[in-house]
Structures are given as structure tokens and as C-alpha cells.
A and B are shown apart, each in its own frame.
Chain A
Amino acid sequence: MATIARSNPFKRRPGRIPGFGLTLGITLSYLSLIVLIPLLGLFIKTAELTWSEFWGTITDARVLASFKLSLGGSLIAALVNLVFGFIVAWVLVRYSFPGRKIVDALVDLPFAMPTAVSGIALTALYAQNGWLGGPLEGVGIKAAFSRMGVIIALIFIGLPFVVRTLQPALADLEAEIEEAAASLGANRIQTLRRVIIPAVLPAVLTGFALAFARAVGEYGSVVFISGNMPMRTEITPLLIITKLEQFDYAGATAIAVVLLVFSFIMLLSINILQLWSTARSR
């Protein structure tokens, strides 16, 4: 997921290599079967609502509060990951220290762990009688069962995306540019600001967008630690579940459609970003 695609259309001579029909056929049918048709079901169910019912559902105060939390929390989590993910990626690419390989492998842990397990572990850790929750409570910070708990869980699940997108970009930086900057009298901070960050900006933004998109829909790891208080710590996916428990399928799909459209826009902008970065790198 993390590597940025570089297309080179000039080298492609369409039609010469076999298997186009077969592979595209398989791809499209499988895509339709597993992804598109089921997703279409969502829209058809939502269409049972009139426009004003739909609008009423998604602008209900509780739903809006959850959007605010899910989007705001994901944004903060993605920003935190951006800063620390950059440092982690930098350290992993640039420095050698004992245990670097192990740390490098660990970065993917949140991706490979079942979300429910992550949720339970984080709650055990950050609750007021947990290893970290206790000391935090002592200084007046309520970590679990608050908005901060939501953000902690979202930081956890988003981290690999930022690091894994940044690593290849940082590794690809040409040493000569930095050396040139240094020989022109720039100090490290200036080099970082003027040379390195602009060069890896597309990767930074892609990683940010991926972490953000993943966090908005996250459910399993968040429900354990959030406390689920209406209007305060209730995330949007939980509201979908809540609607379903009341047998309100159309209401649930209406909120789901909003999330889906949002995800789609995020992904589309990631792909546009990648096009942009490909254009820049040429």
C-alpha cells in the first residue's frame, strides 16, 4: 500500500502482450462481485428514504456530534502520527542503532493485530487502574473513556500507514541535494525545511490521508476505550450499529453512505496526490 506508483506510459505498447481480456475480465467481475454490487446494496437501501428523511438522518444532532468526533479525532490522530511517524521513519531510514530491524518490523503490529484485541489491550493500559492510565489520572488527564481515548486508539491503528509511506520516500532522497544545500551554507534545519520536507511532501500527504481514511471508519479498537457517551464519545460507526439495533436499516445505511462517499473522496485524492508526485519526480 505504501509504495508510490510510478507510471511510465511511454514504454507501454498496448495490445502486444497477451492476456488483457482475460485479466481485465477477471478483475472486473471479481471487483463487481465482491465490492461493487454489495456496495450498491447500500445505496439502494438508502434510496428507500426520501431526500428530506435522508438529510434529517445525517444532520441529526447526535449524528453530527459523531461526525465531528470521528472526523476531528481522526484528524488529530493523523496529525500526531504525521509528526511522530516522520520522526520514526527518519530514525529508521537514517540512523543505525541496536534493534533497528526489530523496531522496523514492529511498526506493522497495529495492522496485523485484530482490532478487538488492540482495543482491549489499550483499554487495559489506559484505564484509571492501568499501567499508564493511573499515572495520567494522577496529573489530571483522563485517558480512557474520553475523547482522548478515541484519539489514542486511532493513533495506534494509523501509525503504520504514515511510517510505511514515508520510509521509501526518505530512502529515495538524493544525497547530493542535501550536500549541495549544506555546501551553500544551509544548516540542518534549513535543509530540512527547504529541501527534505518539500521533496517528501507527497508521501507525507499520502500517509496522512491513508491514516485519516482508515481512522474514520475504525470500530473494533475504539468502542472498548471510548466510553460511548452520546454526543460526546460516540463514533460514527457505533451510531450505524445503534441504528441497526433499532431495526432502522435505512437510517443505518444513510450514515454508512456518508462514510463511504467520504472514504471514496479521500482515496481519490490520494491517487491524485500520487499522480502529482509522479509528475514532480519526472
Chain B
Amino acid sequence: MAGTVSINLASGSRAQAPATRDAPIVRWTLIAIALGFLALFLVLPLVVIFAEAFREGIGAYFASFNDPDALAAIKLTLLTAAIAVPVNVVFGVCAAWAITKFKFPGRSLLVTLIDLPFAVSPVVAGLIFVLVFGLQGWLGPWLAEHDIKVIFAVPGIVLATLFITFPFVARELIPLMEEQGTEEEQAAMTLGARGWTIFRRVTLPNIRWALLYGVILCNARAMGEFGAVSVVSGHIRGETNTLPLHVEILYNEYSFVAAFATASLLAVLAIVTLVLKSLVEYRVRRQIARAAIGEESS
């Protein structure tokens, strides 16, 4: 290991610099500990899901998806994500724009409030919508009179999902847009560009990867949320059951293979999400690095 001073620019890691390199024994011990820990806590649970799902063979596995209730659950889950994600994208972009391009009092309080849904227990997240829209809640009697259904119907599920996935897009955009500053937008302004044009032509290209990353996180959470949705769903078969709720139902019906098969579908969704995410993450890092370099040189 002594003497080889080669700088690896492409990887960006400094593993090659001698002073920051650990002895092989340390390195491999640490790698072993890390991988052992991850295997124990991440890989094994994942393997269990697939092992249980395929316990009765591949035929039984695919038969699980042939049930109309499973299909309805898949549809509802996709619908919920298809509403929650775009809405939170619009909100996230607006919030990030307001927070990073301007300075105003209460800015950090606003950031904390945007983060709040992340730390609220899912049980509480469901409960608050019951308190507002439930028959015994504020708006419940009025809604019932006008025959508008919010909780125990699709709107309630969407609302709970919106709440849970609320912070993700904004939280991904805020650090990046902070880093990028406002010079490019101001340059565009001096050239006579209007607000929407500035956003579309200047800001959006700069943040598109971070935005996509936020969308992916938001989507993963929207499809997987259990606790909050369970409180507001009403569990009507084929109507208000999302995929995670359907897993619970199957599990409670002793259809363990079908339950784990459906769970494996969600796990596959999670894995696809993660692969997409690491692809996007790579571009985000480059974008942040570029923003940082641009800032230093200006």
C-alpha cells in the first residue's frame, strides 16, 4: 500500500490517498460488520417474504394476483399514488421556491412544519382526519348532509397519503436550491424573462434530478403507507383496501402464501424504486457538485 499515490477523480472517493486508507484487516473487518448487520436486518426479512410467497410453488404465487380484490387494491394504490405524487410535487416546488429564493421571518419554523408529518405517528395521522371529517368531527355532519364522503372512501385515503408523503419532495429540493442560489434566475430576469419562463428554462433543468428523486421517495411512501390509511379506510373489500391493507386482510384470512405474494409485489416495487433512486442519486450528486463548483468559481 505504501507509495502508490494515484488520485482517482472519477470515483470521487479518496480511498487511494495513503493517509486516509485503512489497513486491509481493518477494512475487511468493517466491511464484514456492515454487511453482516445489513444481512441480519435488511436482507433476511426480504428473503423471508419471497421464501414464504413461493412456498407452494410459482403457480400459487401468480394465482394470488388473479383475485378481483387484489386487482382492485392494486388499482386503488396506483390511483392514490397518481394523485398524491403530483400534488406534492407542485407543493414541494412552490415551497422550495418560496423558502430558498427569498428570505422572510419564520422561514425555519416553516421548514420544521413541513417536516412535521414525517415525525407524526401514522396512527395519529389517521386519527386527525377522523377528527376533522368523521361523523362526530367538525365537518362530518355537514358532509353527511350533502352526501359527500371523505373518510372511509377514496378521498380520505388520498388525504392521509398526502399528509404522510407531504415533506419528501420539498425536503429533497430545498438543500439543492439553497446551494444553487439565485444568480441564474437573476441573470434570466435581466434578459427579460418572466417568472414561469425562468422556472421552466432555468430552474427546472437545474433541479430535475433532485425533483425526480423526491418523486421516487414520495411514490414509495405513497404506495406503502399502512398505519394512517388503515385508520381512514373502512376496509370495504374491493373498494377501499390498498395493497398494504390487502396484505393484512389476506394474512388474517390464513392465506399466508397470497399475503406474502402480495407483500413481495410491494417489495419488488420497493426494489425497483431503490434501483431508480440510486440511478437518480448519482445524477443528483453530480448536480450538487457542479452547483458547488459553480459557486466557488463565481
Taking CB atoms, residues of chain A closer than 8 Å to B83 are none
A170 and chain B: residue at smallest CB distance: B13
Task: Check A263/B120 contact, CB under 8 A, given A24-B98, A112-B270.
Answer: yes
Q: B270 to A109, Cβ gap below 8 A?
A: yes
Shortest CB distance A111–B (Å): 7
Q: A263 to B30, Cβ gap below 8 A?
A: no
Which 8 residue pairs spanning A and B have beta carbons closest together?
A217-B121, A263-B119, A112-B270, A18-B195, A182-B19, A114-B224, A114-B244, A179-B19
- With a 10 A CB-CB cut-off, give which of B11, B98, B137, B277 has the most chain A CB atoms: B98
Q: Measured between alpha carbons, how far is A249 from B136 in the docked complex, in Å?
A: 10
Shortest CB distance B73–A (Å): 12
Q: B274 to A12, Cβ gap below 8 A?
A: no
Which B3-42 residues have a C-beta within 8 angstroms of A? 11-15, 17-20, 22-23, 26-27, 30-31, 33-35, 37-38, 40-42
Is A148 an interface position by the 8 A CB rule? no
Is B115 an interface position by the 8 A CB rule? yes
B131 and chain A: residue at smallest CB distance: A41
Q: B185 to A155, Cβ gap below 8 A?
A: no
Task: Check A19/B226 contact, CB under 8 A, given A42-B128, A117-B266.
Answer: no
Shortest CB distance B25–A (Å): 12
A/B interface sample: 28 pairs, CB < 8 A: A12-B181, A12-B182, A14-B103, A17-B101, A18-B194, A26-B91, A27-B94, A30-B94, A31-B110, A35-B166, A42-B131, A103-B38, A108-B274, A114-B244, A114-B263, A114-B266, A117-B266, A118-B45, A125-B44, A217-B121, A240-B121, A240-B123, A244-B127, A249-B131, A249-B136, A264-B116, A267-B112, A275-B108
Taking CB atoms, residues of chain B closer than 8 Å to A16 are 182, 186, 189
Additional A-B contact list (20), CB under 8 Å, known A19-B195, A244-B127: A1-B172, A15-B102, A17-B102, A23-B94, A27-B91, A36-B113, A41-B131, A41-B137, A92-B34, A94-B13, A117-B49, A117-B244, A179-B19, A188-B26, A217-B120, A218-B121, A263-B121, A264-B112, A264-B116, A264-B119
- Count of A residues near B, CB < 8 Å? 109
Which A175-233 residues have a C-beta within 8 angstroms of B? 175, 178-179, 181-183, 188, 213-214, 216-220
Is B75 an interface position by the 8 A CB rule? no
Task: Check A240/B127 contact, CB under 8 A, given A14-B102, A20-B102, A26-B90.
Answer: yes
Shortest CB distance A73–B (Å): 14
Q: B22 to A188, Cβ gap below 8 A?
A: yes
Q: A219 to B95, Cβ gap below 8 A?
A: no
Q: Measured between alpha carbons, how far is A23 from B99 in the docked complex, in Å?
A: 9
Taking CB atoms, residues of chain B closer than 8 Å to A41 are 128, 131-132, 137-138
Which A31-47 residues have a C-beta within 8 angstroms of B? 31, 34-39, 41-42, 44-45
Q: B98 to A23, Cβ gap below 8 A?
A: yes
Partner pick for A105 among B30, B132, B278, CB 8 A cutoff: B278
Q: B45 to A122, Cβ gap below 8 A?
A: yes
Taking CB atoms, residues of chain B closer than 8 Å to A87 are 30, 33-34, 37
Partner pick for A217 among B19, B115, B119, B182, CB 8 A cutoff: B119
Is A64 an interface position by the 8 A CB rule? no
Q: B174 to A5, Cβ gap below 8 A?
A: yes
Q: Measured between alpha carbons, how far is A275 from B138 in the docked complex, in Å?
A: 39
A247 and chain B: residue at smallest CB distance: B136
Is A256 an interface position by the 8 A CB rule? yes
Is A78 an interface position by the 8 A CB rule? no
Q: B44 to A131, Cβ gap below 8 A?
A: yes
Q: Measured between alpha carbons, how far is A11 from B220 in the docked complex, in Å?
A: 35
**Which B residues are closer than 8 A to A by beta carbons?**
11-15, 17-20, 22-23, 26-27, 30-31, 33-35, 37-38, 40-46, 48-49, 52, 90-91, 93-95, 97-99, 101-104, 108, 110-124, 127-129, 131-132, 136-138, 159, 162-163, 166-168, 171-172, 174-176, 178-179, 181-183, 185-186, 189, 194-195, 198-199, 217, 220-221, 223-227, 230, 243-244, 247-248, 251, 259-260, 263, 266-267, 269-271, 273-275, 277-278, 288, 295
Partner pick for B95 among A23, A118, A237, A266, CB 8 A cutoff: A23
Taking CB atoms, residues of chain B closer than 8 Å to A182 are 18-20
**Which A residues are closer than 8 A to B by beta carbons?**
1, 3-9, 11-20, 22-24, 26-27, 30-31, 34-39, 41-42, 44-45, 84, 87-88, 90-97, 101, 103-118, 120-122, 124-125, 130-132, 152, 155-156, 159, 171, 175, 178-179, 181-183, 188, 213-214, 216-220, 236-237, 240-241, 244, 249, 252-253, 256, 259-260, 263-264, 266-268, 270-271, 275
Shortest CB distance B178–A (Å): 6
Task: Check A260/B124 contact, CB under 8 A, given A17-B189, A84-B33, A120-B263.
Answer: yes
Q: A11 to B182, Cβ gap below 8 A?
A: yes
Q: A121 to B12, Cβ gap below 8 A?
A: no
Task: Check A9/B103 contact, CB under 8 A, given A24-B98, A96-B13, A260-B124.
Answer: yes
Partner pick for A121 among B46, B117, B226, CB 8 A cutoff: B46
Q: Measured between alpha carbons, how far is A93 from B91 in the docked complex, in Å?
A: 33
Q: Measured between alpha carbons, how far is A14 from B100 in the docked complex, in Å?
A: 10
Q: Measured between alpha carbons, how far is A94 from B21 in the docked complex, in Å?
A: 8
Q: Measured between alpha carbons, how far is A103 from B224 in the docked complex, in Å?
A: 21
